[in-house]
Amino acid sequence: MAEKQGFLTKEGGSVKSWKRRWGVLKNGAIRYSKKQNSADLGFISLQDAGHVRPVTRKGKPHCFEIETPERIYYLCADNEKEMESWVQVLNATKKSLEARPADKQTPTPNGGKAGLPAEKIGLNDFELLKVIGKGSFGKVMQVRKKDNGKIYAMKILNKKTIIERQELEHTKAEKNILQKLVHPFLVNLNYSFQTEDKLYFVMDYVNGGELFFHLQKDKKFTEERVRFYCAEIVLGLEYLHASGVLYRDLKPENLLLTDDGHICMTDFGISKEGLQSDDDRTATFCGTPEYLAPEVLEGNGYGKAVDWWSFGTLMFEMLTGLPPFYSQDVQQMYSKIMKAKLIIPDSISPEAKDLLVKLLERNPDKRLTDPSTIKAHPWFSVIDWDKLLLKEVIPPYIPPVKGKADTSLVDPSFTSEEVTLTITDSDISSTMQQNFQGFTYVGEGLS
């Protein structure tokens, strides 16, 4: 989890100009970018840093400096209180880094090495509490870390199944995406490790229930509630796309609510990395039938526009109770996605109708896919995007959970299962085991 984030004004290195940057402190380093939803420009590692202290800079109030072996970084906060907060948090992080062994390292935000310490992590560090999910590759458990008592969700994948189903690249991509991306509306990876037969992702435990569960219970949501969820998803997709990631599986089952009612996008198992340009294309046929864009079904290659089709489908479903082209017969549903007329109920407002028509445009070149234009659409006119990103907008619905460990909104068919880990016979060759090298990751434990 990010220890602190917010806007800072940073002095350049070779060119001594001041630029406003969005800073995120995580894993012992400040990552900075042009804005909240854009790709990283660089990072400032606190490993081996000297002092972090307030400083006076001509014409620049609320400044502080970070002394590193490479250079001294100068940054300014928006006010005195924020500056003091940054200095306090950075010094606390620096102190915790100094207290850890110097011979262990963990990846830095850009994927390289910067001497950041990594604690040794494994299954024995966690107490298994409850089963909270299952899938074709393994299961998800609620766990407690023994040394600090924190509650997490542990996703457990069988290596043999991954290899047999040729999902190795997808699994690697999921780990890379979870490791490098930090955003208020994306699930956070804290640790990853492996045993002879399994891979383990240790993520934030988000216990407000799947959006799918709430939608089934309520049949459909009010337009105000749909707008709130859609707005947070827009920011999440904007950030993913700016980071070169195609989500490819936007659906209610992959959207969790936090205990205070915010969206958390999860499951990047079929996401695709490396699509930096809007013109970049991929061709793998994957996703969930109800949410597939026409160009995926055509099989001629597709880009980021598919996520916005899925977004339109999800928006329609939240407003009406069903996806726009739903059929129990999958082939018939594919046919409807390709050819059927979009029928929008009169109960939906004109502004929402207009946005749906533009998102559910079959021609990806004509589809509304620009996040800035989407955010400027009249249906979102009441949204304060800056406050939303900072989670300063009160959600329209607060899940009825009691505390961070509550599992009352998890399907009882999962939580009633026996909490055991089966050891599978691992006949994975040493050559195949090499495919899982570098899987260990420690992103927390710096507090």
Residue numbers annotated as active site: 249
CA distance 129 to 104: 30
Burial 1-33 (b: 16+ CB within 10 A, else e): eebbbebbbbbeeeeeebeebbbbbbbbbbbbb
264 CB burial (10 A radius; 0-12, 13-18, 19+): buried
Identity of residue 102: A
User: How far apart (Å, rounded) are the C-alpha atoms in residues 9 and 3?
Assistant: 19
Question: Within its chain, how far is the Cα of 32 from the centroid?
Answer: 17
- Which residues lie closer than 8 Å to 289 by C-beta, 6 or more apart? 330, 333, 334
Q: Tokens for 258, please give them.
A: 């936090």
Complete edge-to-edge strand list for the sheet that includes strand 40-45: 40-45, 29-33, 18-26, 4-11, 72-76, 60-67, 52-57
- For 58-180, strand residue ranges (E) read 60-67, 72-76, 126-134, 138-145, 151-158
